[in-house]
Structure 1
Amino acid sequence: MILVDTSIWIDHLRRGNERLLRMLEQGQVLIHPYVIGEVALGNLRNRAAILSALHDLPQAAVATDGEVLRFVHQNTLYGVGIGYIDAHLLAAVRLSPRATLWTGDRRLLAAGKSLGLAENEIH
């Protein structure tokens, strides 16, 4: 399963992404509530339909704030240029069996790859 981050969704909503469409059709995409929240803050055509479709996707595990802070400390994720939501996504992938993160964010990708949680070969 692939947890798709906000950067990939935004790109898909602007330009379309055939790889993401295939993964959606095959039921391989996970969502995280923070990704839905970030997408919801943008200007969306077909807002209700898009948000409804995102809510219908299988949800990745959601780490508690305490789990995320421990995850950040244990994996030395501080000072690497990622944000708190990014850390939540990495923790979610760690907690979701056989999941991988797909991101277009260079720093998040580097952090995820260092932990074996993200790939850039997905697209």
Structure 2
Amino acid sequence: MILVDTSVWISFLKNDDPDLGDILKKYLKRNDVFTVSAVFGELFQGVKNKREWDILQILWSSLPKVEEEGLFIKAGQLSNKHKLYASGVGLIDCYLLAACLDNKLALWTLDKKLQKAFDQVTT
């Protein structure tokens, strides 16, 4: 089970990397992809046309979501405990980390700072 970061979704939607797209499609087919509102909020913020909007609407309505109550507080606490803000990891990224920790999910990201933070908080 994985939480897919905004960076991966953007690459998928732009079809930047066909291999990434194939892998994500396999995860989606197996229902192994979870999401949070923050990721789709970022994606909707950058929508450029109706096609993208429609795709995001379908994905948002069909993907399983993690329980988000209290996650921003946990994200802030996680950031403080691991000094993540000083490493350039913002609150939204910490939110994703907290969601992964709370739900025992792997994180799939193309963001090297976020991946390093995930490795730090899960070891």
TM-score by length of 1: 0.85
Contact in 1 for aligned 2:84/2:90 (Cα 8 Å)? no
- Aligned residue pairs total 116
Aligned to 1:13: 13
RMSD: 1.7
SS of 2:3 mapped into structure 1: strand
Question: Identity over aligned residues, as a percent?
Answer: 31
Task: Give the gaps of 5 or more residues in structure 1.
Answer: 118-123
Structure 1 stretch displaced more, 71-80 or 86-95:
71-80
41 and 106 in structure 1: CA distance in 2 versus 1, 3 angstrom threshold: same
C-alpha displacement of 1:102: 0.6
Contact in 2 for aligned 1:8/1:102 (Cα 8 Å)? yes
TM-score by length of 2: 0.85
Aligned to 2:96: 89
1:22 to 1, 15, 26: 26
SS of 1:79 mapped into structure 2: helix
Task: Give the gaps of 5 or more residues in structure 2.
Answer: none
Distance in 2, Cα, partners of 1:106 & 1:14: 20
